[in-house]
Amino acid sequence: MYFDCTTRNFAAIEVAPDAPAVIARERCLTWRELHTEAQAWCRRAGEFGLARDLPIMIRGHKEASFMVALCGALMLGAPFVPLDTLYPAQRVNGIAAALEATLLYDAGTDCFEVLRAGPPRALQERDLAYIMFTSGTTGVPKGVQIGIEGVCALSAWMDADFGLGPTPVFLNQAAFSFDLSMYSVFGALGSGGAIVLLDRTAAAVALEVAALIAQHAVTVWVSTPSFAQQQLLNPGFTAAALPSLRTLLFCGEPLPTPLARQLRQRFPGVPILNTYGPTEATVATTLLALEESHLAGDGGVLPIGRPKRDSLVYCDDGELCIVGAHVMRGYLNRADLNQSRMFLRNGQRGFRTGDLGSVDASGMLYCHGRSDDQIKLNGYRMELLEIDAALGALPGNRPAASVPLRRPNGTVARLVAYVETGTPDAVLPVELAQWKTLLAQRLPAYMIPSELRGCIRLPVSLNYKIDREQLAQAYRNGTAP
């Protein structure tokens, strides 16, 4: 059995219905059980008025019921909005308001919550698969609307070009609110394979991660490079100890050459796939199966490969641009951004990524980082301007700036912040004593700077933007900015 995204329904239901489909900490579901539970979920959601083109917020963290709800929503044609329990209530409320959503399903309690009375409002965009909220520069997350055609194309691409073999078993580590997790969701659903949901507690212990891989014979590792780096601390993270692993699949941030080399040593002969793409273009758009020649390089950034067969990727004035059916339908209610970031080319949607790129004579693509203030920290995408806005809303409403501290290879190791206090010492006024707790009401924990220091005035660069580089230098030197 498998889930056919084109028909939005389970297919080949008589084929291996007792094979595992979803493996979670609290319970496992066979394909037959997933099918039956998804049908029951549709009935229950229908009683609450959920129907085609109405958004359904799904909150939870790696429960089997989360997968049931995702399937149910796809069957109903109701775009799902995945929200990890990492998100503070204020953020969830803001998202609900932006969607004008009336219904939330909590996978932890298996309960529906009616968010507001009155008739639900259908979304303007029809036939979406999901809406993923990512960090937004204005201080409010922005909703990336992905059409069903985007996920159909993703499944087809994985099937045709990833070499994952029959009934792959995927590791699912990234939170459902990040599109990286959709790799294993649609990879497993589309192939009739299985998905192993790794919760945060297990993910924090490398030995437990390896034990789960062994126990469930995971064949496809899916993560950011940062998460794989942590596993290297476990000497048992090797092909000898984990013989089921057939593919190491990466996306979401640059894959450093030294990490790729170590993985090649630990997993000789196991394909390492470096894929690239923003949430705005359904998980990934380019693919590179690493070869020895790539690893022999000078240790810099690895190429990101070539565009998937039904898409076009090119550099315009040094910026990577993506064209294809898998490009989002637009940001929800953000005509301004849709105007500046999206375009049409030969009748297909295009997206300006904000990534600096290049392409060599053979058509091989490279990504050289961002042209704006979007960063990745521990694999999480965030806009520094959103963090600045939250810092600026702390008591006193002082100007403040978040500052990424980078490693020599350019990746962000840590985030700190400065706030204008008017005094030369770094000490914070009393009213800011609880700054971390206050920020946590608004931002998920992974976006909260590890330190906040006072300064007389935030330095600005020649174009009157906050000079984060100068702040980073001051931090490193221990001097007052």
End-to-end CA distance of the chain: 61
Q: What track of x and - describes contact with ligand AMP for positions 229 through 258 (by CB under 6 A)?
A: ----------------------xxxxx---
Q: Which of 171, 249, 367, 377 binds ligand AMP (CB under 6 A)?
A: 367
Name which of 129 and 212 has its Cβ closer to ligand AMP: 129
Q: Report if residue 279 touches ligand AMP, rule: CB under 6 A.
A: yes
> How far is Cα 185 from Cα 197, in angstroms, rounded to an integer?
10
Q: Report if residue 274 touches ligand AMP, rule: CB under 6 A.
A: yes
Name which of 270 and 356 has its Cβ closer to ligand AMP: 356
- DSSP secondary structure of 201-236: HHHT-HHHHHHHHHHHT--EEEE-HHHHHHHTTSTT
Half-sphere exposure at residue 284, Cβ-oriented, CA atoms within 13 angstroms: 35
Using the rule CB under 6 A, give the single segment among 9-17, 38-46, 100-108, 272-280 that binds ligand AMP. 272-280
Using the rule CB under 6 A, give the single segment among 42-50, 58-66, 271-279, 333-341 that binds ligand AMP. 271-279
Q: Between 181-191 and 64-76, two packed helices, what is the crossing angle to 10 degrees? A: 70
State which amino acid sits at residue 289. Answer: A
Question: Which residues from 300-359 bind ligand AMP, rule CB under 6 A?
Answer: 304, 353, 355
Min dist. Cβ of residue 386 to ligand AMP (A): 14
Min dist. Cβ of residue 34 to ligand AMP (A): 27
Q: Which of 139, 278, 330, 449 binds ligand AMP (CB under 6 A)?
A: 278
Q: What track of x and - describes contact with ligand AMP for positions 11 through 40 (by CB under 6 A)?
A: ------------------------------
Q: Which of 33, 84, 106, 179 binds ligand AMP (CB under 6 A)?
A: 179
- The pair of structure tokens assigned to 21 is 């489909």
Name which of 60 and 254 has its Cβ closer to ligand AMP: 254
Min dist. Cβ of residue 134 to ligand AMP (A): 6
Name which of 251 and 391 has its Cβ closer to ligand AMP: 251
State which amino acid sits at residue 82. Answer: P
Name which of 38 and 175 has its Cβ closer to ligand AMP: 175
Q: Report if residue 453 touches ligand AMP, rule: CB under 6 A.
A: no
> How far is Cα 389 from Cα 383, in angstroms, rounded to an integer?
10
Min dist. Cβ of residue 258 to ligand AMP (A): 15
Q: 353 with 367: CB under 8 angstroms? A: no
Name which of 172 and 279 has its Cβ closer to ligand AMP: 279
- Count of residues engaged in binding ligand AMP, rule: CB under 6 A: 19
Report the DSSP beta bridge partners of residue 417.
402, 452
Q: 57 with 106: CB under 8 angstroms? A: no
Q: 197 with 22: CB under 8 angstroms? A: yes
Min dist. Cβ of residue 132 to ligand AMP (A): 8
Name which of 174 and 209 has its Cβ closer to ligand AMP: 174
**Core vs surface per residue 241-273: b (16+ CB within 10 A) or e:** ebeebbbbbbbbbbbbbebbbebbebbeebebb
> How far is Cα 115 from Cα 400, in angstroms, rounded to an integer?
34
- The pair of structure tokens assigned to 444 is 């998920």
Cα-based torsion angle of the residue sequence 52, 337, 343, 156 in order, rounded to the nearest 10 degrees: -50
Using the rule CB under 6 A, give the single segment among 73-81, 90-98, 210-218, 268-276 that binds ligand AMP. 268-276
Q: 3 with 189: CB under 8 angstroms? A: yes
Name which of 120 and 252 has its Cβ closer to ligand AMP: 252
177 φ, ψ (degrees, to nearest 5)? -80, 5
Name which of 98 and 302 has its Cβ closer to ligand AMP: 302
Min dist. Cβ of residue 251 to ligand AMP (A): 5
Question: Which residues from 123-162 bind ligand AMP, rule CB under 6 A?
Answer: 134
Min dist. Cβ of residue 453 to ligand AMP (A): 28
> How far is Cα 120 from Cα 78, in angstroms, rounded to an integer?
12
Name which of 332 and 455 has its Cβ closer to ligand AMP: 332
For residue 31, CA distances in Å to 193, 321, 411 come to 9, 38, 40
- The pair of structure tokens assigned to 271 is 């394909």
Q: Which of 27, 52, 121, 370 binds ligand AMP (CB under 6 A)?
A: 370
> How far is Cα 151 from Cα 181, in angstroms, rounded to an integer?
13
Name which of 234 and 371 has its Cβ closer to ligand AMP: 371
Name which of 444 and 481 has its Cβ closer to ligand AMP: 444
Min dist. Cβ of residue 84 to ligand AMP (A): 14
> How far is Cα 136 from Cα 416, in angstroms, rounded to an integer?
19
State which amino acid sits at residue 409. Answer: N
Instruction: Point out which residues bind ligand AMP (CB under 6 A).
Output: 134, 179, 251-255, 274-276, 278-279, 304, 353, 355, 367, 370, 376, 381
